[in-house]
Structure 1
Amino acid sequence: MPKHFFVLGLDPLRQAYVECVRNAEEYRFHPLLDFEEVVLADTYPYDELLHKAERQLREFPEPIAGILGHWDFPTSVLLAHLGEKFGLRSATLRAVLKCEHKYWSRLEQQAALPGWTPVFCAINPFAESPREQLTIDYPLWLKPIKAHSSFLGFRIENDGEFLRALEAIRGEIRRYGDAFNQALAHTDVPAKVGEVDGNWCIAEEIISGKQCGIEGSMLDGKYRVHGIVDTVKDSRNWSFTRYEYPSVWPRQAQQKICDAGEKLLRHIGFDNSPFGIEFFWDDQKNALKVLEINTRISQSHSDQFIKVHGVSNHQVPLDLALGRMPDLSECHGKYRCAAKFMLRRYSDTRVEKLPGEAEIRAAESSIPDSKVILTIDQGQRLSEKLNQDSYSFEIANILLGAQSQSELLESYHRLADRLHFEFSDGASPEEFQFNRVRY
């Protein structure tokens, strides 16, 4: 009999990723909640989504082997919450909330890895005098306690920028903050976190250097890293331009972040779940810092795992749900490296014309196994897009595999040059964002 898995927010593109696992014919994958309501919605009524998912699962007539997830909040928290309710193998809700709450997570990081944790403080954006709450110096990052994709995240250089950022944050922070507060109400928040909830912010010292993330597993106390992905920003260090796999960091730096990840997750009590932890490495000072903890695999990395390993990273939560420690070492794909590139614009404008279907297919056919995914609509103003960072607008994703990093980068530029966009300001995607620097 096939084993049944539910996938939160499953859509056609990610359906292909989910099905690219070993012995896929042995499993059946069912959507749990709609993609539009857990990814593209204007608001995320957490308790309502939780109850709707519960009803769907209880009405299913067959045994459920597990629930898979690859999106950020709210699905990342729903994943653990539903796992607890249905007795499925997963991290506890409390452990996940420790990681997802940026301030609570920093407190845990500070306790486990004090030398790896940036200086930080909590900020109530609705306070009468929010500037008085700052205990760190400029420049700094200001971001909500709960958001993702750099939404409402600002680099702050002075008091004027701080106040302007808070004005923008106050207008939109409740989109995620209210839903996250509903999730927090299902656990006991410790006194050290205090009144800092989803509608607060965290201010952090600027950490710089190369960015990299580990993806791995915890299974009954056993820890394993199955992949290390480089996160590369543009030449101004503003926005992400690609996720590149495998990492090109030196072996000693990779080993340090793997060891740090284990220490941190054991301290938090995170178990029986996949994870992703982001780090910064200042190679000039040989200093490493924790950026954030994710409590899931990333769908942004799935195509790279398929190209390099021959299976998606969905193999990981599937194996964990069945009580097996994932091992991708014996999986072999067609390419030695792969990347997801994010093509961007850095100023707001209206989309007048997009590459047509024939143009996209022709561009893809020029490079084997490439894929172009448009992330904007014709006639749309870029600022109308949901879940954008504060400095740029993602207009397309380009997925590529190669036998070397140099081939990977050259293929990207060659394919991107074949895509023709027209915007109301007459400009093209800014050249500086391509970032030809090889690490």
Structure 2
Amino acid sequence: MNTPSKPPEEKNVFVIGLDEGNEAVLRRIPGADRYRFHPLLSVEELQYGEIPIIELMEKAQARLDAFPGSIDAIVSYWDFPASTMVAMLCEKYDLPGVSLEAVLKCEHKYWSRLEQTKVIDEVPPFGIVDLGQDDPRPPEEVDYPMWLKPVKSFSSELAFHVADEDEFAHAVAEIREGVDRVGEPFDLILGKVELPVEVADAGGAACLAEGELTGVQAATEGYVHNGRVTMYGVLDSINYPDSACFLRHQYPSQLPGDAVERMKEISVRVMEQIGFDNATFSIEFFCHPESGQACLLEINPRHSQSHAELFEYVDGVANHQIMVRLGLGLDPGERGRHGDYRIAGKWYHRRFRDGVVTRVPTKGEIADLEAEIPGVKIEVVPEEGTRLSDMPAQDSYSYELAHLFVAAQTQREMEQKYHRCVEALRFDFEDG
């Protein structure tokens, strides 16, 4: 007589900043029927306005303490403060996770550069700009043109390309005005670990200057499990012509193999140096395909939610699966390319001047377009009535109107699908 097998026990996975789109992706990963995904704080609480980090931690702990079942994993695909909260909460509840110190070595752009230079040469000249001075000057090591950015910010918020003294002064004024929104709560978290003297002197609301990098932008995605670094994807990032704003990310990378391998080698070396373990990460690069040279731009102590659908289209499973398995203390296992498409891109449909949105594409128009063109998913960013400059987490030079996920068998086919979609999407604006 055969005894019926006991169904596998459900696992409770708490996701900091769980939102509708990513929840849908999570529910499509293998084994999702055995996971119960619980939201822990909203995207609005984490990303909009001031960031009351102590209050956010207290709210998260109160929710977890009140939960009647087992707490099996705490994960997130968001940047600060979620990335640091995951590390602190996993430590408090004795769950698998990355250390807070390792996360901060990635998050603090200046500390990250100091760590990178211990094991690689492929970094630009960099230094701190003292915002406390009456007349801040660029560090001696960095010449024009350069980039100025807070040591911690969201996306490309408050990042400025600076070509001369006038542009430097304008960028410093803008950064001074807005740096404390993220910098002050970031400082509170920095106070929880032992900092090198240089990092402690700079603090969490400092400004970093870096020499301009050139070449083709690309990114690696990987994870570390029990001290072993695994690279599972390399993507290209294509800008709008004559602009620093992303037009699309595409997977897999179309760069030559030696450039791809060099980025992977650098990624492994740097993450081992940082002591990163039991979590996902992504690293951005500038490459010169002819020589295979790659220069590291920045490290993110999380995988990219922007790439989830791209991996799903090409590999057959989103990178979210790796986050969940690591959160449960499991080896993510081997990945293959078992998706329906050979290339996929996340495209950014943008407007390069401010205005009030008076019309956005309707749900019906979007549904018709997605049905008409296979391998397309469209997300409209602003709501009707929104002033574009009021939207959170935008870069310093443009405003996102829509994200378009487009999959195809060739890059040319993907580009054609994107242009068909943009022509069909009707946005109206009132300028001024």
TM-score normalized by structure 2? 0.95
Is 1:423 the counterpart of 2:401? The answer is: no
> 2:71 matched to 1:64?
yes
Aligned length: 424
Name whichever of 55-64 and 291-300 sits farther off. Answer: 55-64
- Alpha-carbon offset, residue 308 of structure 1: 1.2
Distance in 2 (CA, whole Å) between partners of 1:193 and 1:377 is: 40
- Indicate which of 103, 108, 115 corresponds to 1:96: 103
- Residue 433 of structure 1 is matched in structure 2 by none
* Distance in structure 2 (CA, Å) of the matches to 1:97 and 1:128: 29
**Shift in CA distance, 132/274, structure 1 to aligned 2, threshold 3 Å:** closer
8 Å CA contact 2:124, 2:295 repeated in 1: yes
For residue 437 of structure 1, what is the aligned residue in structure 2? none
Superposed, which structure 2 residues align to 1:138-287 within 5 Å?
A: 138-287=144-293
Aligned to 1:406: 412
Q: Which runs of 5+ in 1 are unaligned?
A: 427-439
**Secondary structure in 1 matching 2:39:** strand
- Offset at residue 331 of structure 1 (A): 5.6
- Give ranges in structure 2 of 5+ residues lacking alignment: 1-8
**Alpha-carbon RMSD:** 1.5
Q: Which residue of 1 aligns with 2:346?
A: 340
Q: 1:85 aligns with which of 74, 83, 92?
A: 92
Of 32, 46, 70, which residue of structure 2 is paired with 1:38? 46
Q: Which residue of 1 aligns with 2:330?
A: 324
TM-score, normalization: structure 1? 0.93
- On the 8 A contact 2:144/2:162 being kept in 1, the answer is yes
- 2:139, 2:336 → 1: CA distance? 52
The separation in 2 between residues aligned to 1:192 and 1:181, in whole angstroms, is 14
SS state of the match for residue 137, structure 2? helix
Work out the CA distance in 1 between the residues paired with 2:290 and 2:211: 18
Aligned with residue 387 of structure 1, among 390, 393, 399: 393
CA distance in 1: counterparts of 2:294 and 2:193, whole angstroms: 32
Q: What SS does structure 2 have at the residue aligned with 1:306?
A: helix
Task: Give the 4+ runs in structure 1 shifted more than 4 A.
Answer: none
The separation in 2 between residues aligned to 1:305 and 1:25, in whole angstroms, is 20
Contact 2:49 2:181 in 1 (8 A): yes
- Identical columns (%): 40
Rounded Cα–Cα distance in structure 2 between residues aligned with 1:200 and 1:334: 46
Question: Hey, what does 1:20 align to over in structure 2?
Answer: 28
User: Residue type of the partner of 1:99?
Assistant: C
Determine if the alignment matches structure 1 residue 378 to structure 2 residue 378.
no
Deviation (angstroms), 1:125:
2.0
Displacement of 1:311 in angstroms is: 1.5
Alpha-carbon distance between aligned partners in 2 of 1:150 and 1:354, rounded to the nearest angstrom: 25
Show CA shifts across 1:144-184 (max 9, x none).
Answer: 01012210000001111111111111111111111111111
Q: Is residue 7 of structure 1 aligned with residue 19 of structure 2?
A: no
Q: 1:60-88: CA deviations, max 9, x gaps?
A: 22222211211111111111111111111
